[in-house]
């Protein structure tokens, strides 16, 4: 895994029905990557089911309407990824074969730029197989790079995705420095714990970590709270 750019990442467009649309988030110009959360049901013979927190109705294929928003974001140079898993759901990969079984397109004809692994339950097996399949499938079918990313918990190695990270297949890792007692900073509305006020991020945190070769940018959870607070606008030029 190598860091080749400095970016502002929004992990969770679609975790609050009041956060506005995907195209509105992209129109702010504040983000380099947007990650749709989540696909919480898949694997082990299950029909994949997306849950975008009220933005669309997956039971009537209503989420295919997001295809135009995805394309609009990509036209601005913003990468759009779909996050697998999350803190609630029913997901696991039963075998290497299971990792390659899906023909579902819940977001319509738009071609995503990558897949994010936010694995917080189920099993820790075969996630590396899934990453390997996605990498190979993308190159064979699309002839372009598809980003494989992960959002592990802060304690290392991560209990669920730690083995998969050793494959070297992941392009970026956005560590969850929130809701993790060993790493948490303080509390705030956007997370149960671990929220860092923007002033503290700029004065204390970024100066300490920006010299690291492993630093690549800042990930935010929740478009809704970012829009309410103006967090990304206040840090964008400093990232």
Catalytic residue among 19, 24, 97, 120: 120
Bridging pattern class, strands 114-119 and 147-150: parallel
Strand partners, 34: 10, 80
Q: Which DSSP category does 203 fall into? A: I
Q: Is 120 one of the annotated active-site residues of the chain?
A: yes
Note whether 220 and 32 are within 8 A (CB): no
- Rounded Cα–Cα distance for residues 41 and 20 (Å): 24
Nearest Cα neighbor of 113 from 83, 140, 89 is 83
- Token pair recorded at residue 9: 């990442």
Rounded Cα distance, 118 and 125, in Å: 14
What residues are paired with 83 via a beta bridge?
37, 116
- Asked if omega into 131 is within 30° of 0 (cis), the reply is no
| Separation CA 157–CA 149 (nearest Å) | 16
Query: In angstroms, how far is CA 214 from the centroid of its own chain?
Result: 18
- Catalytically active residues, by annotation: 120
């Amino acid at each position: 895994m190598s860091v080749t750019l400095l970016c502002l990442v929004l992990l969770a467009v679609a975790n609050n029905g009041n956060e506005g649309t995907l195209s509105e988030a992209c129109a702010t110009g504040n983000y380099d990557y947007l990650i749709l959360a989540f696909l919480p049901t898949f694997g082990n013979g299950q029909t994949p089911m997306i849950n975008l927190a009220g933005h669309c109705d997956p039971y009537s294929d209503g989420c295919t309407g997001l295809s135009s928003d995805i394309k609009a974001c990509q036209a601005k140079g913003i990468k759009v990824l779909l996050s697998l898993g999350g803190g609630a759901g029913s997901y696991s990969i039963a075998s290497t074969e299971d990792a390659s079984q899906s023909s579902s397109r819940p977001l319509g004809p738009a071609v995503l730029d990558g897949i994010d692994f936010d694995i917080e339950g189920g099993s820790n097996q075969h996630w590396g197989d899934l990453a390997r399949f996605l990498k190979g499938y993308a190159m064979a079918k699309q002839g372009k790079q598809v980003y494989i990313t992960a959002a592990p918990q802060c304690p290392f190695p991560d209990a669920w995705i730690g083995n998969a990270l050793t494959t070297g297949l992941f392009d970026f890792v956005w560590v969850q420095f929130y809701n993790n007692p060993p790493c948490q900073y303080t509390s705030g509305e956007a997370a149960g714990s671990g929220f860092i006020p923007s002033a503290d991020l700029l004065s204390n945190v970024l100066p300490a970590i920006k010299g690291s070769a492993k630093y690549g940018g800042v990930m935010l959870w929740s478009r809704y709270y970012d829009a309410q607070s103006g967090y990304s606008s206040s840090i964008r030029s400093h990232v």
